[in-house]
Amino acid sequence: MNHAVHQIYYSSQTRAMLDPGFIPLDNSGQRPDWYEYGPIRRFLLTHPLAPDTRYGFLSPKFAEKTGLTSAQVNAFLDSTPDDVDVVTFSPYFSNAAFFKNVFEQAEFWHPGIMHTIGDAIAMVAPGMNANTLTHGMLMSSMQTVYCNYFVAKPRFWRRWFELCEVIFRCAESGRGELAQRLNAPTQYVPPTPAKIFVIERIVSLLLSLEPSNWKVRNYNPIKLPADNNLLNGKFRDEMVTLDALKQAALSTTFHDYYVKYIDLRGQMIERLQQA
């Protein structure tokens, strides 16, 4: 299996940040409001994808956020069996472990975005209860991908792109309240449209909704940066336990594991408040 891992740049400054072991992908002079989705979209629309190749599109901050080099990424990819559809390199293990899912995590960091996420999910997953998905779906670090840090076969990219384009078309139309909310900035520095954080969560949605369709291999998220901004960087050991409980809940469907996860998480919050 071949691999074509691209790294996006926007300017001479961000090009200087690139790892020479990745393929540079120029996004200079383009619309800034679509961030990484813009160049990924153009690539998928203009380049035929080889069936024997996995593709990736990383941001200039990949090394900063993951601590990984292209040599480490390529070695991991080379060691990955050919039948694996998606390979993830997702940072922020504490976020993946602590929050029930990527939607709850988004609401924590971007208050008020859940309404927009719920309406967007209703569009891309018609026939399903969007509220149940956003508030009830359980995701462990095995299904969680932040920053679009994944490498995948063409068939996964096509499925991902199909759903992302629903959101893209809605936002670009400018018609209706949802389009306005998708284009509105969130509480993030620098100000970033909600549509970017919605699209970033589509990969996790797919891995969770269609687990039998995709074979996934994760770079050990515990080895990557955990994000010390969450709970003041405390409870590292408990984070491992939280994630293990979620994985057990998902693999066995035993509700006891979920109850224990919620209970332990509540204890952590209480201890932090009392400190």
pLDDT digits (tens, 9 = 90+) for 133-173: 999 999 999 999 999 999 999 999 999 999 999 999 999 99
- The count of domains in the chain is 2
- SS3 state of residue 117: helix
What confidence score (pLDDT) does residue 228 get? 75
Cα–Cα nearest to 101, from 133, 130, 138, 129: 138
CA–CA gap between residue 181 and residue 63 (Å, rounded)? 31
Residue with tokens 């509220």: 131
CB 197 within 8 A of CB 134: no
Range of the domain at 114: 2-233
Same domain, 186 and 269: no
pLDDT above 80 (res 41):
yes
Residue 195 CA, distance from chain mean position: 13
Same domain, 201 and 139: yes
Same domain, 160 and 47: yes
Residue with tokens 């390199």: 89
**Confidence (pTM):** 0.96
What confidence score (pLDDT) does residue 231 get? 82
Same domain, 225 and 240: no
What confidence score (pLDDT) does residue 100 get? 98
CA–CA gap between residue 250 and residue 227 (Å, rounded)? 24
Same domain, 242 and 224: no
CA–CA gap between residue 112 and residue 264 (Å, rounded)? 26
pLDDT band at 188 (very low <50, low <70, confident <90, very high): confident
What confidence score (pLDDT) does residue 18 get? 97
Same domain, 138 and 225: yes
- The share of the chain scoring above pLDDT 70, in percent, equals 100
Helix (H) or strand (E) holding 118: helix 113-124
Same domain, 103 and 209: yes
CB 13 within 8 A of CB 31: no
Q: Quote the mean pLDDT of the chain.
A: 96
**Residues 236-250, mean pLDDT to the nearest whole number:** 95
pLDDT above 70 (res 179):
yes
Cα–Cα nearest to 145, from 70, 98, 214, 86: 86
- Distances from the Cα of 176 to the Cα of 117, 159, 242, angstroms: 15, 26, 40
pLDDT band at 275 (very low <50, low <70, confident <90, very high): low
Same domain, 247 and 275: yes
Residue 54 burial class via C-beta count within 10 angstroms: exposed 0-12, middle 13-18, buried 19 and up: buried
pLDDT band at 109 (very low <50, low <70, confident <90, very high): very high
Q: Which residues pair with 191 in a beta bridge?
A: none
DSSP states along 34-78: GTTHHHHHHHHHHSPPPTTEEEEEE-TTHHHHH---HHHHHHHHH
Cα–Cα nearest to 196, from 206, 209, 184: 184
Same domain, 83 and 59: yes
Same domain, 227 and 243: no
pLDDT band at 189 (very low <50, low <70, confident <90, very high): confident
Same domain, 239 and 210: no
Same domain, 94 and 35: yes
| Lookup: tokens for 78 | 């080379």
The secondary structure of 194-255, three-state, reads: HHHHHHHCHHHHHHHHCHHHCCEEECCHHHCCCCCCHHHHCCHHHHHHHHHHHHHHHHHCCH
**pLDDT one-digit tens code per residue, 111-123:** 999 999 999 999 9
What confidence score (pLDDT) does residue 214 get? 98
